[in-house]
Amino acid sequence: FFAAGVLAVHLVKRFATFPDGSKLPRVLLIAQLTLGWYCVSITLTLGNKWIFSVWHDGLRVVMFATTIHMACKGVIAAVALSCQGRGLMQNPHFWCRRSWIAGLCIGVFTGLDVAASNLSLRFVPVSLYTLLKSASIVFLSITATAMGLEPCTRPTVIGVTMMAGGICLAVSTSSGDDPRNQIGLGVLLVLFSEACAALR
């Protein structure tokens, strides 16, 4: 569905004519990027769920797979920068101590986010995993407010409280028939991954 949406938007952008000053091309570009992101996100989520839960009774080496994932991302990023003529060594910020500390923090929190997300897929269904991933806005709001990046306004507090309440309701409903409390562990892992993503 999302792939078809990306293709449709691309065809409209390619063959349609727009008046000068029209905002429609920009809107279509945003729609194309959004649909493309959903395409990749859903594919990765379902693929990871199959690998870690179904394939040969579930891949047991989740952390090893996460390490390979992060290593591949690093190699791809370095190659992309080199192809653009912006090698890491030529970047003056590469040698800055502050950049190394920031990069280290981002890398640690990204690794924890991906590892906890992958591990949680062994314990929670994809539907609950997707719902819990929407909790990122709660953690982002709390983190941004604590760091003074966002003001604490009444609409924000109401919105975050309602979202957190809805997530709690969904989790309590889903974990009702889980005698080994595996869903509870999976929920904690997803929420931990979202906290790491917010800190990142």
Q: pLDDT of 81-104, one tens digit each?
A: 777 665 555 666 666 777 778 878
Hunting for tokens 């959004």 — which residue is that?
34
Residue 2 pLDDT: 57
* Contact between 110 and 70 (Cβ < 8 Å): yes
Residue 10 pLDDT: 67
Contact partners, residue 91, CB within 8 Å, separation at least 6? none
* Contact between 197 and 136 (Cβ < 8 Å): yes
Q: CA-to-CA distance for 4 and 194, rounded, in angstroms?
A: 29
Per-residue CA distances from 145 to 41, 76, 164 (Å): 28, 34, 16
What is the pTM assigned to this prediction?
0.67
Contact partners, residue 123, CB within 8 Å, separation at least 6? 182, 183, 185, 186, 189
Which regions of the chain are under pLDDT 50? Answer: 179
Residue 38 pLDDT: 77
User: Side-chain half-sphere of 13: how many Cα atoms within 13 Å?
Assistant: 17
- Cβ–Cβ contacts within 10 Å for residue 25, how many? 12
CA nearest 133: which of 167, 176, 109?
A: 167
